[in-house]
């Protein structure tokens, strides 16, 4: 990353643009023909308007992920593909961390995450569980670790278009090894379970 400073207005604009990109990604899979053209034109116009006068986006909004600064003063942007409001791939989580437990809500997820028709792609099920289990391990240890194993059991398809709950728990710490487990639910239905091992750096 470079050392260019970023104002709050810049951060708000970047997240606004990411929101438009998310809507475009969804709209590209929803619309066709003339409807697609109108949709793209309207979203482009919204971005152009914000670019022409970024101040109009403030102070109504504050950035969710304002850039941090490294010790050398370089801008560090949150690139996380699950949680960063600036990463258009991120489905975005709202997460609560307490002691050995994390509970996150995500979604409703749109069509760009689709695997089987109307259902979440299985790889994304793993992405969501990996993130929440990593988060609870980080919260418990106070430092980052690497996912070494992640075993998934798919119990039932995960519906798109509904809010999902992802829960993670630390189950054991043994030296550099931290074990955690969790599940992804739609309502009261457990759709997937995960258990894995996280290894702290030497
Ligand atoms: C900022 C937010 C980021 C969120 C990220 C979300 C999580 C991620 O995606 S992390 C990225 C994906 N993971 C990776 O890329 C990791 C790739 N793997 C690695 O880099 C290495 O294998 C790494 C670091 C995990 C472990 O390497 P290394 O430190 O050499 O481990 P190693 O010494 O062999 O094993 C450590 C311990 O685990 C044990 N162990 C290793 N594998 C297993 C296993 N499968 N089962 C049980 N125990 C195991 C070893 O026996 C050893 O135990 P002990 O300390 O008692 O002797």
Which protein residue's CA is at the shortest distance from atom 2 of ligand 1?
A: 80
Compute the distance from residue 199 Cα to the ligand 1 centre, in Å: 4
Are 130 and 185 contained in the same domain? yes
Query: Which pLDDT score is estimated for 73?
Result: 80
CATH code at 110?
3.10.129.10
Are 71 and 119 contained in the same domain? no
Asked whether residue 190 is assigned to any structural domain, the reply reads yes
Are 98 and 195 contained in the same domain? yes
Q: Is 129 exposed, middle or buried (0-12, 13-18, 19+ CB in 10 A)?
A: buried
Domain that holds residue 176: 91-199
Distance of CA 80 to the CA centre of its chain: 7
Are 35 and 103 contained in the same domain? no
Residue 71: is its pLDDT beyond 90?
Answer: no
> Among the listed ranges 8-22, 52-66, 145-159, 178-192, which one has the minimum average pLDDT value?
52-66
- This model of the complex carries an ipTM of 0.96
Asked whether residue 86 is assigned to any structural domain, the reply reads no
* Residues sharing a CB contact under 8 Å with residue 80, sequence separation 6 or more, in sequence order: 87, 90, 131
Q: How many domains does the chain have?
A: 2
**126 touches 133 (CB < 8 A):** no
Question: Which of 20, 47, 75 is the endpoint of a domain?
Answer: 75
Are 63 and 125 contained in the same domain? no
The DSSP symbol for 43 reads: H
Query: Which pLDDT score is estimated for 60?
Result: 55
- For ligand 1, whether the C-beta of 145 sits within 6 Å is no
Mutation test residue for ligand 1: of 148, 168, 197, the one with most atoms within 8 Å of CB:
148
The span from the CA of 31 to the CA of 54, in Å, is 28
Which protein residue's CA is at the shortest distance from atom 4 of ligand 1?
A: 131
Asked whether residue 153 is assigned to any structural domain, the reply reads yes
Compute the distance from residue 140 Cα to the ligand 1 centre, in Å: 17
Are 99 and 190 contained in the same domain? yes
Residue 2: is its pLDDT beyond 60?
Answer: no
Query: Which pLDDT score is estimated for 54?
Result: 74
Give first-to-last CA distance, the chain, whole Å: 26
Are 103 and 69 contained in the same domain? no
Per-residue pLDDT tens digits for 153-189: 999 999 999 999 999 999 999 999 999 999 999 999 9
Per-residue pLDDT tens digits for 108-143: 999 999 999 999 999 999 999 999 999 999 999 999
Residue 23: is its pLDDT beyond 60?
Answer: yes
């Amino acid at each position: 990353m470079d050392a260019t400073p970023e104002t709050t207005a810049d951060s708000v604009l970047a997240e606004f643009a990411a929101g438009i990109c998310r809507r475009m990604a969804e709209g590209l899979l929803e619309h066709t023909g003339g409807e697609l053209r109108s949709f793209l034109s309207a979203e482009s116009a919204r971005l152009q308007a914000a670019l022409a006068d970024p101040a109009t986006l403030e102070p109504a909004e504050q950035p969710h992920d304002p850039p941090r600064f490294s010790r050398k003063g370089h801008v560090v942007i949150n690139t996380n593909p699950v949680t960063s409001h600036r990463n258009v791939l991120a489905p975005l989580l709202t997460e609560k961390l307490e002691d050995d437990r994390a509970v996150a809500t995500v979604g409703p997820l749109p069509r760009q995450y689709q695997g089987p028709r109307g259902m979440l792609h299985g790889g994304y099920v793993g992405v969501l569980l990996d993130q929440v289990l990593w988060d609870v391990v980080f919260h418990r240890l106070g430092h980052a670790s690497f996912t070494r194993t992640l075993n998934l059991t798919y119990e039932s398809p995960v519906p798109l278009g509904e809010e999902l709950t992802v829960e993670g728990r630390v189950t054991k710490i043994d030296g550099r090894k931290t074990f955690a487990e969790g599940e992804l639910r739609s309502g009261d239905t457990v759709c997937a379970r995960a258990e894995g091992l996280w290894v702290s750096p030497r």
